[in-house]
């Protein structure tokens, strides 16, 4: 059964005439007759009494409210999709790693909300793997995460590289490693480490680095907030390997010290991920354009580091 058949049925029910229904639908009377006959053949019952005034049979009366609802729902669906493709989106959901949410997104969010006051923007800080999962599940529209090709190889995904940043060592100001201007990896391996929980991506790349060097990776504690990292490291012997943009607040803290690592420098690659169909929606496309422009204009989180007082 096709939609145009139900529309012809409703037109005959409304006008009481096959001829008037044809005029209402903009088709020939013979086409209306064929469409009604097709429904009747499918259901095995007549829908109209073929008299001077085409009245509904009992079966026709039974079909009428359902056909009305189907056609109304289809009309609403068409309108909703038309509105969506013309930028009338009620909300836009973004997931991102913590440093991105804290330092890259605020000016973008401000600009987007000014440009799109009718779109409710929702931003959630999540680990990279979790951010990509909720994107695949359709719960968010854009994810800004640490690059993980294993989770973004699907053809529907659109991956835009944003920037790369080095991973550095966070420690207390009086930690033995603070004596190094550049901390050797062999020295880093001697100390217990605070790491992001599994699913945040950082744990995986740090583990890979130690595995490639055939050195032990001493995980002492798993955390999921930067405040918690600073609080724990400030207290004692534990250290943390964190990306540069996650260490902005730490550089302001005189009780903490940040040092670069020796070669090879471990880099974190940050990417923006969405899907091809979402990029067809104007507000989503414009949000992604704002992100690209922010990074291209060298207003990335890394630039915030240049004017910060550095703890000794």
Cα–Cα distance measured from residue 240 to residue 218, given in angstroms and rounded to the nearest whole number: 11
Range name among 72-86, 137-151, 158-172, 253-267 with the lowest pLDDT average: 72-86
**Cα–Cα distance list, 18 to 33, 40, 48, 213, 276 (Å):** 7, 15, 10, 82, 45
Range name among 159-168, 177-186, 215-224 with the lowest pLDDT average: 215-224
Q: Is the pLDDT of residue 200 over 60?
A: yes
pLDDT bin (cut points 50, 70, 90) of residue 302 is low
Determine the pLDDT at residue 203: 84
Range name among 164-178, 207-221, 296-310 with the lowest pLDDT average: 296-310
Write the class of the CATH domain 3-85: mainly alpha
Half-sphere exposure of 278 (CA within 13 A, CB side): 24
Determine the pLDDT at residue 300: 46
Which one, of 261, 278, 105, lies nearest residue 187 by Cα?
Answer: 261
Q: Pick the residue with more confidence: 21 or 297? A: 21
pLDDT, tens only, 204-227: 888 888 888 888 888 899 988 889
Cα–Cα distance measured from residue 310 to residue 306, given in angstroms and rounded to the nearest whole number: 10
| Residues 266, 268, 271: CA angle, nearest 5 degrees | 160
Cα–Cα distance measured from residue 96 to residue 83, given in angstroms and rounded to the nearest whole number: 27
Q: Pick the residue with more confidence: 304 or 225? A: 225
**Two domains, one topology: 91-163+269-307 and 165-268:** yes
Q: Say if strands 193-196 and 219-223 run parallel, antiparallel, or are unpaired.
A: parallel
Task: Retrieve residue 217's tokens.
Answer: 């990776």
Half-sphere exposure of 190 (CA within 13 A, CB side): 9
**Total residue count of the chain as it appears in this document:** 312
- Whole-model pTM? 0.72
DSSP code per residue over the chain = --HHHHHHHHHHHHHS-HHHHHHHHTS-HHHHHHHHHHHHHHHTS--EE-SSS-EE-HHHHHHHHHHHHHHHHHHHHHHHHHHHHTT--SEEEEEE-HHIIIIIHHHHHHHHHHH-TTSEEEEEE--HHHHHHHHHTTS-SEEEEE--HHHH-STTEEEEEEEEEEEEEEEETT-GGGG-SSB-HHHHTTS-EEEEPTTSSHHHHHHHHHHHTT----EEEEE--HHHHHHHHHHSS-BEEEEGGGGHHHHH-TTEEEEPBPSSPPEEEEEEEEETTGGGSHHHHHHHHHHHHHHHTT-SGGGGGGGSPPP-
* The domain over range 165-268 is classified in CATH as 3.30.200.20: no
CATH superfamily of 91-163+269-307: Periplasmic binding protein-like II (3.40.190.10)
How much is the average pLDDT of 2-22? 91
Determine the pLDDT at residue 309: 42
Task: Retrieve residue 144's tokens.
Answer: 């800004």
List the chain domain ranges. 3-85, 91-163+269-307, 165-268
């Amino acid at each position: 059964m096709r939609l145009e058949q139900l529309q012809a049925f409703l037109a005959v029910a409304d006008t009481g005439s096959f001829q008037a229904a044809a005029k209402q639908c903009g088709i020939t009377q013979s086409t209306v007759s064929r469409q009604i006959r097709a429904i009747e053949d499918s259901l095995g019952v007549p829908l109209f009494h073929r008299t001077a005034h085409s009245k509904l049979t009992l079966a026709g009366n039974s079909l009428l409210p359902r056909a009305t609802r189907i056609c109304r729902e289809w009309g609403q669906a068409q309108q909703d999709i038309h509105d969506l493709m013309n930028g009338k989106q009620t909300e836009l959901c973004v997931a991102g790693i913590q440093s991105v949410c804290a330092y890259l997104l605020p000016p973008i969010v401000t600009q987007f909300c000014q440009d799109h006051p009718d779109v409710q923007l929702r931003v959630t800080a999540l680990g990279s793997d979790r951010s990509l999962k909720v994107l695949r599940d359709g719960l968010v529209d854009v994810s800004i995460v640490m690059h993980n090709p294993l989770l973004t190889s699907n053809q529907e995904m659109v991956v835009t590289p944003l920037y790369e940043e080095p991973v550095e060592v966070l420690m207390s100001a009086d930690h033995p490693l603070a004596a190094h201007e550049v901390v050797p990896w062999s020295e880093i391996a001697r100390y217990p480490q605070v790491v992001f929980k599994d699913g945040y991506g950082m744990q995986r790349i740090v583990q890979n680095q130690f595995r490639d060097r055939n050195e032990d990776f001493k995980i002492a504690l798993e955390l999921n907030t930067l405040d918690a990292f600073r609080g724990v490291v400030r207290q004692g012997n534990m250290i943390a390997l964190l990306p540069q943009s996650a260490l902005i607040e730490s550089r302001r803290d005189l009780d903490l010290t940040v040092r670069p690592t020796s070669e090879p420098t471990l880099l974190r690659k940050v990417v923006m991920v969405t899907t091809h169909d979402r990029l067809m929606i104007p507000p989503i496309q414009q949000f992604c354009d704002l992100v690209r422009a922010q990074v291209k204009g060298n207003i990335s989180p890394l630039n915030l580091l240049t004017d910060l007082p550095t703890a000794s």
